[in-house]
Amino acid sequence: MKTILAADSCQEVGVLLQSVLEDKGYQVILTHSLTEATRLLSTRHVDAIITEAFDQDNLFDFDPTFLYKLKALAGDAPIIVMFIRGAFEGMCAGDFGLADILPMPFDLEELLQKVSRVLDRGEPAEGRGLEHPATSSMAA
């Protein structure tokens, strides 16, 4: 049985994710904060991660720093990031090492297709990879 870490600060979204994914035979570990998610990842293996694009410090601005931490702890587990439609125009699978993205609100069938696809693929989509801006060798 594949294990999925679902991290979402909204209890209702988390419970929905857990219910839908468990109905399809996945084991789901639900967390409601990045602190919980990183603590769990430091002690437990998961096969995939679904996380919201957490609003850092209520700035309504995307800071991918949390993705670097998750990716470092998750190893090869693919990461799907959920975000509000229109919030991060231009973001695509492969950016920051993401296996896929899921605009919210999302269709449950789309969620299940993306989860199945990244678990079957077992690796991030082609793209820029997970280079931290401070260490990137790309010229500005």
- CA 113 to centroid of chain Cα atoms: 15
Scored b (16 or more CB within 10 A) or e, 75-109 reads eebbbbbbbeeeebeebebbbbbbbbbbbeeeeee
Taking the model in full, what pTM does it have? 0.77
Instruction: Enter the CATH code of domain 3-121.
Output: 3.40.50.2300
Residue 101 confidence (pLDDT) = 84
**What is the mean pLDDT of each successive set of 10 residues along the chain, which is 140 residues long?**
91 92 96 87 92 60 71 87 68 69 87 93 44 34
Residue ranges per structural domain of the chain: 3-121
